[in-house]
């Protein structure tokens, strides 16, 4: 056998050094007929799983075509780059133990360094080189170091020889041969490859420039002189190494020494959750049986018991007991700490999870099938995501680190890829294209999630696409897109192991303190079948927990998340009206519009409500058919295949949703049932859906799905819609089990809002930032629901918002100091402490007793929080500014005032509009009024209607209305822009079509006060929209509010200079109203 294996191949996971995806390296290696390839990236193994998966896929394809695997052996390791002058060493584990050593070594190096770096020394190498096969990228000058290494690594050290076309290649080869024979180690041939094909050189040069932070013109000899660092054919390698044929033969000999394969990474669950003396399965069954009465007080039905037994059998067969116990352990801990949590994900369909308290959905009641996703065919561990209160999730994370240790627990990585914006910026910089062009180009990219850089983008930016520089830019940007650029930590996916995690995969320090993460991301973890638990943060859980606590405290009910009364008609009535501001998930404009159309009556309706306003169903055009069927306007039927197939085959799949596929699972089952996908196919489809950005895979499925369905007699149109929907799911997959879990939170939050609006408002305001709405809208909404709102006051408020008994005895909301911009928690606590002794009677006492600095006093007086001190706002402000900070010891016990009296300053009287504008500036809301009420005379004179009148107008009327912009949204494909505006009486919802938007872009984007002329459109369900025709920016009116008449006179003749801008001083003060919340 005289094959050749390239053992020194880097991928683009050698960040900014390699220039090919791992999969491309594998593909090229197969095409060239290599005996093997060794993937070794710079101090990392982050890319090896990709390579391994790529080979596995190629093997599957080959098996399908020819019945046997491809002839390529993949060995994986790392290129060790040292910081102490040791030459680069390529290390491959010979066996599983060697892999552990390699991972430990890299972990040690990572720990030494700040994030993203790895500092290795020779000592690390000698400590961890057991069972590692090493290739030294060394030359004569390293002879001494190699001799020292030989003490530890005799028999497993090779010396590399390369032929890089440097002119003196053969002379160097002779030198390497001499060195190898002096050391008594074999010489091994390699091309030290950085990319798959010679044509990848430009890309390699570009990443080198990005790395060095210079342009091509500056980089000069930092770039490689030629394009020889690619994978070369075995024939070519033999020709180059004709003087040293043994060096070629050594490559296959080396390959033969490697027994390790990533499939040997057997996952073992941590043992902690099982008490000594118990088998995991027995302990799990024991736990479940003990807890069964909590969930099913009257016991399970015969059918339920049967299902439970099926689950037990499956868990036993797949040996998943540990997994469920581990998740249970985390959940139990959180419960013990009173931290609300709730599981979702595929395994959440199970009775076991429900009984263990991991999930809140009763799978029997909701008729969910556990086996649907955890089937024996799919050899993957189950997937459970657990949401925790966002403010206290860190406690749970640190518990996991503590319980399992940092060498056994780590967060998964997220690979940060190049996106159009960053790719254009970096490539342009490397090509020396001016910043201005770059700005024009990147300015056309909205958001950062666009996956490609189409020619249209260049044209939009007014850039000549025929220009050579731009052709170059485009060619390279297209190739750099989706390159990994660095690793970051996943939001909360933990990998836990029984053995040392750092012997499975290297661990890094994260940028956040007290966090460590592993090198593999969730796809890698899936591919290797490791277990991952997602510990996620959810603001609504914080809110619900706070609300439950408040309800108990004010004695209006003692509930748990799952004991909140179900099927409450009042709650559903509220939702049917679209009254859902602040409610979980269904509070966006699109959701609010859907509520009156869907008219939810039971929990399952909420499940659908959550899932239906999503890109998947919308792009698949499934929403309207569903609504029509639900309203009884269209017959519920199932598309049928032609005979001989069962005409009702889809009834099973689509029955629950009236024949319209809405959930991810349904799309999957549809593919299996209607297009005869195998389970493996469907599984792959699901995978490509989840990782939609894996370019190119989805197209293959389109063909397969559509032709499959058409062949079986479905209409092509229906098949295409199904595919589009699956595609839509790709970006925002929404399976039924997730929707189920979310629906519970939707219901719980709605119930609290419906029955205890004050408590709900208080809890959600104390959980900010979260959700769609700013505090001002939440407060306003509470007010509209009859809640009395009490202002911030030093004698009553705390840091958090609180509940008090209002004037009429009902619960009222007292605003807290956290609403004030710039106020700090310690000051708030000092105020609360100090007034327990005695209420504050004067600013001076406040300053002295609470030890407040003058800045705090100023903020309090500006925010009108000194009302109970019985001073006018303006006087308080004037007084606060001269009150000395904190306590002066000399005067501590003296009753005398510290500062002398001053003659009355005779400040101008405070105007109501000044009160309101200052409120907005300091707390972003005002309880005293609305800026619009002061402008009403102006608008009334112009015949502009109020929002309330607009909403009451008849369908089709053309009206003009004005208001302060609250929220701008451009959902989905951006065909329409939704703007919510507010005046002193109510809100109005404006719809602006994209074409109109282009005309009024500036007005739409920047108006704080907008005047809209348009047609009132009233839907059957009573939802009113104003379809805009013309938009005027009237923000100037707000600014006028600020100005005294005299100033107005002197400024009015100067509308074009910056002096109007400087008039108002700091931009923050120009804002009478806070900026809107915009969602692209």
Q: Minimum distance from CB of 1039 to another protein (Å)?
A: 11
Q: Minimum distance from CB of 419 to another protein (Å)?
A: 15
CA distance 305 to 320: 19
Number of amino acids touching another protein (CB under 8 A): 80
Site for another protein in 735-794 (CB under 8 A): none
Query: Is residue 1005 at the binding interface for another protein, with CB under 8 A as the rule?
Result: yes
Query: Is residue 995 at the binding interface for another protein, with CB under 8 A as the rule?
Result: no
Q: What are phi and psi of 509, to 5 degrees?
A: -80, 135
Q: Which of 468, 569, 643, 769 binds another protein (CB under 8 A)?
A: 468
Nearer to another protein by C-beta: 360 or 437? 437
Query: Is residue 292 at the binding interface for another protein, with CB under 8 A as the rule?
Result: no
Site for another protein in 193-232 (CB under 8 A): 199, 201-202, 205, 216-223, 225-228
Query: Is residue 561 at the binding interface for another protein, with CB under 8 A as the rule?
Result: no
Nearer to another protein by C-beta: 435 or 715? 435
CA distance 273 to 337: 18
**Interface mask toward another protein for 132-171; x: CB under 8 A:** ---------------------------------xxxx-xx
Site for another protein in 475-534 (CB under 8 A): 475-476
Q: Which of 379, 555, 1020, 1053 binds another protein (CB under 8 A)?
A: 1053
Q: Judge contact between 588 and 579, C-beta under 8 A.
A: no
Q: Are strands 987-993 and 1024-1033 parallel, antiparallel or unpaired?
A: parallel
Q: Judge contact between 586 and 610, C-beta under 8 A.
A: yes
Query: Is residue 907 at the binding interface for another protein, with CB under 8 A as the rule?
Result: yes
CA distance 1010 to 1028: 11
Q: Phi-psi bin for 886: left (phi > 0), alpha (psi -120 to 50), beta?
A: left
Site for another protein in 322-341 (CB under 8 A): none
Q: Minimum distance from CB of 269 to another protein (Å)?
A: 44
Nearer to another protein by C-beta: 468 or 569? 468
Nearer to another protein by C-beta: 596 or 1074? 1074
Q: Minimum distance from CB of 216 to another protein (Å)?
A: 5
Q: Which residues contact 452 (CB under 8 A, 6 or more apart)?
A: 420, 478, 481
Q: For residue 131, what are its two tokens?
A: 């069972």
Q: Judge contact between 537 and 390, C-beta under 8 A.
A: yes
Nearer to another protein by C-beta: 156 or 883? 883
Which residue's entry shows tokens 């949401």? 387
Q: Which of 144, 276, 436, 901 binds another protein (CB under 8 A)?
A: 436
Query: Is residue 956 at the binding interface for another protein, with CB under 8 A as the rule?
Result: no
Q: Minimum distance from CB of 1044 to another protein (Å)?
A: 5
Query: Is residue 242 at the binding interface for another protein, with CB under 8 A as the rule?
Result: no
3-state secondary structure 1060-1075: HHHHCCCHHHHCCCCC
Nearer to another protein by C-beta: 826 or 1006? 1006
Q: Which residues contact 342 (CB under 8 A, 6 or more apart)?
A: 359, 360, 386, 387, 538, 541, 561, 741, 744, 745
Q: Which residues contact 865 (CB under 8 A, 6 or more apart)?
A: 791, 792, 793, 794, 797, 817, 820
Query: Is residue 912 at the binding interface for another protein, with CB under 8 A as the rule?
Result: no
Chain Cα centroid distance, residue 316: 34
Q: For residue 255, what are its two tokens?
A: 């390959």
The alpha carbon torsion through 735, 736, 738, 742 (nearest 10 deg) reads: 140
Q: For residue 977, what are its two tokens?
A: 């822009």
**Interface mask toward another protein for 842-871; x: CB under 8 A:** ----------------x---x---------
Q: Which of 511, 905, 958, 994 binds another protein (CB under 8 A)?
A: 905
Q: Which of 28, 918, 961, 980 binds another protein (CB under 8 A)?
A: 918
Query: Is residue 898 at the binding interface for another protein, with CB under 8 A as the rule?
Result: no
CA distance 147 to 733: 56
Q: Judge contact between 118 and 110, C-beta under 8 A.
A: yes
CA distances from 539 to 491, 814, 1025 (A): 14, 21, 30
User: Using CB under 8 A, which of the segments 153-161, 709-717, 777-785, 878-886 binds another protein?
Assistant: 878-886
Query: Is residue 1058 at the binding interface for another protein, with CB under 8 A as the rule?
Result: yes
Site for another protein in 166-185 (CB under 8 A): 166-168, 170-171
User: Using CB under 8 A, which of the segments 129-137, 435-443, 484-492, 688-696 binds another protein?
Assistant: 435-443
Query: Is residue 901 at the binding interface for another protein, with CB under 8 A as the rule?
Result: no
Q: Minimum distance from CB of 1046 to another protein (Å)?
A: 6
User: Using CB under 8 A, which of the segments 9-17, 153-161, 543-551, 1044-1052 binds another protein?
Assistant: 1044-1052
User: Using CB under 8 A, which of the segments 359-367, 517-525, 573-581, 1064-1072 binds another protein?
Assistant: 1064-1072
Query: Is residue 1044 at the binding interface for another protein, with CB under 8 A as the rule?
Result: yes
CA distance 12 to 208: 11
Chain Cα centroid distance, residue 82: 35
Around Cβ 552, how many Cβ atoms within 10 Å? 12
CA distance 233 to 238: 9
Q: Judge contact between 9 and 193, C-beta under 8 A.
A: yes
């Amino acid at each position: 056998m005289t094959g050749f294996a390239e053992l020194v191949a880097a991928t683009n996971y050698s960040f900014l050094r390699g220039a090919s995806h791992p999969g491309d390296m594998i593909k090229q290696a197969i095409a060239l007929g290599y005996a093997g390839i060794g993937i070794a990236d710079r101090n990392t193994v982050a890319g090896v799983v990709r390579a391994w998966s790529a080979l596995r896929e190629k093997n599957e394809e080959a098996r399908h075509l020819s019945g046997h695997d491809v002839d390529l052996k993949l060995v994986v390791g790392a290129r060790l780059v040292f910081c102490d002058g040791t030459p680069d060493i390529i290390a491959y584990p010979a066996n599983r133990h060697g892999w552990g050593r390699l991972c430990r070594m890299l972990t040690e190096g990572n720990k030494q360094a700040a994030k993203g770096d790895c500092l290795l020394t020779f000592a690390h190498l000698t400590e961890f080189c057991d069972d590692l096969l090493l290739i030294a990228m060394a030359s004569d000058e390293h002879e001494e170091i190699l001799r020292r290494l030989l003490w530890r690594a005799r028999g497993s050290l090779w010396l590399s020889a390369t032929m890089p076309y440097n002119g003196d290649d053969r002379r160097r080869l002779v030198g390497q041969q001499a060195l190898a024979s002096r050391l008594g180690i074999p010489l091994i041939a390699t091309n030290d490859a950085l990319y798959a094909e010679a044509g990848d050189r430009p890309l390699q040069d570009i990443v080198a420039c990005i790395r060095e932070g210079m342009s091509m013109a500056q980089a000069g000899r930092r770039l490689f002189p030629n394009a020889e660092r690619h994978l070369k054919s075995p024939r070519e390698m033999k020709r180059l190494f004709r003087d040293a044929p043994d060096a070629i033969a050594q490559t296959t000999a080396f390959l033969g020494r490697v027994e390790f394969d990533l499939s040997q990474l057997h996952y073992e669950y941590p043992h902690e959750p099982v008490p000594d003396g118990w088998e995991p399965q027995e302990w799990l069954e024991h736990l479940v049986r003990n807890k069964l009465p909590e969930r099913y007080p009257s016991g399970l039905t015969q059918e339920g018991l049967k299902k439970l037994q099926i689950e037990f059998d499956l868990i036993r067969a797949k040996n998943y007991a540990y997994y469920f116990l581990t998740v249970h352990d985390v959940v139990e801990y959180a419960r013990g700490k009173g931290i609300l949590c709730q599981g979702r994900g595929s395994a959440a369909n199970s009775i076991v999870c429900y009984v263990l308290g991991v999930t809140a959905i009763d799978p029997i009641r909701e008729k969910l099938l556990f086996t649907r996703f955890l089937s024996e065919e799919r050899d993957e561990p189950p997937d459970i995501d657990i949401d925790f209160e966002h403010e206290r999730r860190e406690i749970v994370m640190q518990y996991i680190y503590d319980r399992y240790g940092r060498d056994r627990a780590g967060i998964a990585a997220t690979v940060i890829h190049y996106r159009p914006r960053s790719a254009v910026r970096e490539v342009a910089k490397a090509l020396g294209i001016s910043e201005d062009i770059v700005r024009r180009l990147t300015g056309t990219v909205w958001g950062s999630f666009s996956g490609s850089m189409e020619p249209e983008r260049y044209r939009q930016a007014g850039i000549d696409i025929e220009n050579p520089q731009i052709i170059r830019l485009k060619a390279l940007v297209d190739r750099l897109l989706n390159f990994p650029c660095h690793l970051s930590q996943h939001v909360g996916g933990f990998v836990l192991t029984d053995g040392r995690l750092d012997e499975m995969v290297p661990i890094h320090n994260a940028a956040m303190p007290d966090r460590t993460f592993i090198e593999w991301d969730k796809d890698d973890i899936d591919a290797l079948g490791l277990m991952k638990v997602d510990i996620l943060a959810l603001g609504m859980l914080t809110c619900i927990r706070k609300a439950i606590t408040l309800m108990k405290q004010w004695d209006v009910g003692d509930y748990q998340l799952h004991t909140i009364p179900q099927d409450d008609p009042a709650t559903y009535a509220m939702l049917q009206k679209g009254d859902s501001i602040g409610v979980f998930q269904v509070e966006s404009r699109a959701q609010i519009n859907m509520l009156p159309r869907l008219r939810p009556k039971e929990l399952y309706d909420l499940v659908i409500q959550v899932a239906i306003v999503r890109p998947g169903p919308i792009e698949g055009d499934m929403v309207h058919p569903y609504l029509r069927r639900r309203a009884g306007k269209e017959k519920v039927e199932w598309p049928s295949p032609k005979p001989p197939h069962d005409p009702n085959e889809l009834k099973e799949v689509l029955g629950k949703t009236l024949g319209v596929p809405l959930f991810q699972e349904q799309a999957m089952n549809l593919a299996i049932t209607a297009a005869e996908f195998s389970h493996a196919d469907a599984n792959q489809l699901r995978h490509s859906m989840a990782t939609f950005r894996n370019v190119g895979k989805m197209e293959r499925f389109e063909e397969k799905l559509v032709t499959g369905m058409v062949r079986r007699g479905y209409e092509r149109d229906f098949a295409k819609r199904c595919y589009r929907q699956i595609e839509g799911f790709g970006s925002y997959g929404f399976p039924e089990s997730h929707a189920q879990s979310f629906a519970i939170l939707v219901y719980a939050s709605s119930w609290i809002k419906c029955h205890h609006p004050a408590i709900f408002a208080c809890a959600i305001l104390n959980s900010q930032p979260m959700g769609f709405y700013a505090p001002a809208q939440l407060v306003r909404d509470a007010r509209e629901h009859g809640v009395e709102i009490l202002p911030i006051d030093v004698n009553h408020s705390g840091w958090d918002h609180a509940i008090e008994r209002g004037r009429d005895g009902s619960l009222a909301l007292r605003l807290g100091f956290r609403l004030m911009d710039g106020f700090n928690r310690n000051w708030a606590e000092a105020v609360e402490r100090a007034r327990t002794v005695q209420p504050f009677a004067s600013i001076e006492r406040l300053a002295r007793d609470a030890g407040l600095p003058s800045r705090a006093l100023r903020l309090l007086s500006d925010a009108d929080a000194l009302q109970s001190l019985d001073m006018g706002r303006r006087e308080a402000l004037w007084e606060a500014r001269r009150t000395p900070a904190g306590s002066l010891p000399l005067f501590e016990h003296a009753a005398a005032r510290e500062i002398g009296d001053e003659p009355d300053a005779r400040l101008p009287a405070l105007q109501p509009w000044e009160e309101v504008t200052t409120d907005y500036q300091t707390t972003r809301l005002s309880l005293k009024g609305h800026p619009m009420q002061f402008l009403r005379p102006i608008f009334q004179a112009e015949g502009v209607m109020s929002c309330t009148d607009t909403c009451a107008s008849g369908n089709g009327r053309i009206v003009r209305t004005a208001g302060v912009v609250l929220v701008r949204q451009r959902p989905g494909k951006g065909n329409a822009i939704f703007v919510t505006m507010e005046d002193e009486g109510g809100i109005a919802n404006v719809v602006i079509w994209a074409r109109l938007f282009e005309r009024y872009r500036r007005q739409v984007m920047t108006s704080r006060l907008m005047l809209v002329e348009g047609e009132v459109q009233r839907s059957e369900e009573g939802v009113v929209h104003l379809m805009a025709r013309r938009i005027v920016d009237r923000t100037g009116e707000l600014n006028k509010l600020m100005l005294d008449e005299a100033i107005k006179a002197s400024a009015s003749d100067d509308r074009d200079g910056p002096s109007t801008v400087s008039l108002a001083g700091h931009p923050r003060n120009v804002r009478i109203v806070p900026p809107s919340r915009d969602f692209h």
